[in-house]
Amino acid sequence: MTCRWRRRLAVTALVLIASVLPLRAQTVLSTTVLQNDLDANSPVSGVLLANAGSASAGSVIWMNGEAMLVTAKVNDLVTVRRAYGTPARTHALGSLVYLGPSSAFTAATVAPGASCASASVLPHISLTSGAVSQCIDGKWAQVTQPGTPTTGTGPVVLGVSPALSGTVTGTYTLGGTPTISNPTIVGAHGAAESFLVPNDLGTPDLADDNFFLTSVAMQATAYTLDETDLAADQPPRNVTVTHTAQGTADTLGDAVIVGTDVNDDPITETIAIDSGTVAAGTKAFKTVTSVVTADWVIDGVEASEDLLEVGFGDLLGLGRPLAAASQVFLVVYDTGVVVDAVIAVDDTLVEENTVDFSGATYDGAKVAKVLLIP
């Protein structure tokens, strides 16, 4: 065989091999929805996603102009390092999230209308400008998300191509440089609002043993209370009763607590007084209007009345009846996710639905929230 024929066979073989090899792999970023609020000032955060399936340590999630490096994942909860090559931002529950390998995010930008035929990652996200661009009919179209597209952007909203999320009025064209003319987008949000119900529990104060009644001599009639209403920024709290013996302990009996629940409906709880210590109730009171220790009997030795205090404890009222503790999907305190909260539920009595967590760190400033499954 001559050298010329060898060369021809070699070229033919290369052409055949090239014809059967797959084209260069293209990375398509996954999308999901944020399931908890994130504060811009927290350098390390737990991020709850509707579906974190493609996230893993070393990958990146991006939302609203901020990239975050994933350091760990447990189910749909990922731990991230914030501001990964971008500024840190505040993100609300329901924000659209893109997920992918760190190599899929770049500082480069693409021009709307330029060819995207050789794109290796879709959509293209620029870490410097925060622009998100999709490849539409072979040309780059910039995405506005969420909100109203402007001239120079393509018809891709919230990462869905080519359909728009929400209701769109007006017209758009794709000719030359993709543009959208005067559209109005209604309801362009993620699906989280329909899946989870956020419940703000305010900024709980540290438990206060004598908030309602400061140390007074015990009696068989109703006490004159120092306070009846919790502060407006407090969730309903469980009631505590503290006994202090004066010499020989009296016959204590029970304390009957009367007040209202979160809905201003009357409720009552009977708490067995525990000699020399604090006895805690389990119902969440918004107000306490009456405390009575009708079974109390003074001791027969010194005949000195023991002392009683009434305050509130660590339980926070959830504010609605729940059928199962699993309906409390997530507990957030300040900027962290609480993993060891103790939850009590009742599908009828709203005052029996409480959560107990981080009581020692309550300071009247940190916000407590729960996400509930309806």
**Burial of residue 259 (number of CB atoms within 10 Å: 0-12, 13-18, 19+):** buried
Question: Strand pairing of 27-28 and 77-81?
Answer: unpaired
Given a cut of 90, is residue 252 above it in pLDDT?
yes
Better-scored residue on pLDDT, 14 or 41: 41
Given a cut of 60, is residue 373 above it in pLDDT?
yes
Residue 156 pLDDT grade (very low, low, confident, very high; cuts 50, 70, 90): very low
Average pLDDT over the chain reads 80
- The pLDDT value recorded for residue 145 is 52
- The pLDDT value recorded for residue 98 is 92
Given a cut of 70, is residue 75 above it in pLDDT?
yes
Q: CB 256: neighbour CB atoms within 10 A?
A: 16
Given a cut of 90, is residue 5 above it in pLDDT?
no
Given a cut of 60, is residue 245 above it in pLDDT?
yes
pLDDT in tens, 88-116: 899 988 888 999 998 899 888 898 889 99
Question: Strand pairing of 336-338 and 197-200?
Answer: unpaired
Q: What is the pTM of this model?
A: 0.54
Domain extents in the chain: 27-104, 121-194, 196-374
Three-class DSSP labels, the chain: CCHHHHHHHHHHHHHHHHHHCCCCCCEECEEEEECCCECCCCCEEEEEECCCCCCCCCEEEEECCEEEEEEEEECCEEEEECCCCCCCCCECCCCEEEEEEHHHCECCCCCCCCECCCCCEECEEECCCCCEEEEECCEEEEECCCCCCCCCECCCECCECCCCCCEEEEEEECCCCCEEEEEEEECCCCCHHHHCEEEECCCCCCCEEEEEEEEEECCCCCCCCCCCECCCCCCCEEEEEEEECCCCCCECCEEEEEEECCCCCEEEEEEECCCCCEEECCCCECEEEEEECCCCECCCCCCCCCEEEEEEEEEEECCCCCCCHHHEEEEEECCEEECCCEEECCCCCHHHCEEECCHHHCCCCCCEEEEECC
Better-scored residue on pLDDT, 331 or 315: 315
| Percentage of residues in the chain having pLDDT higher than 90 | 42
- The pLDDT value recorded for residue 25 is 64
| Percentage of residues in the chain having pLDDT higher than 70 | 78
Given 1.10.1200, 2.20.70, 2.40.10, 3.40.50, which CATH number is that of 27-104?
2.40.10
Question: Which token pair is 8?
Answer: 């021809």
pLDDT in tens, 21-31: 334 468 889 88
Least-confidence region, from 32-36, 244-248, 268-272: 32-36
Given a cut of 90, is residue 353 above it in pLDDT?
yes
Question: Which token pair is 92?
Answer: 């609300």
Q: CB 263: neighbour CB atoms within 10 A?
A: 12
- The pLDDT value recorded for residue 199 is 84
Least-confidence region, from 218-232, 269-283, 329-343: 329-343
- The pLDDT value recorded for residue 44 is 54
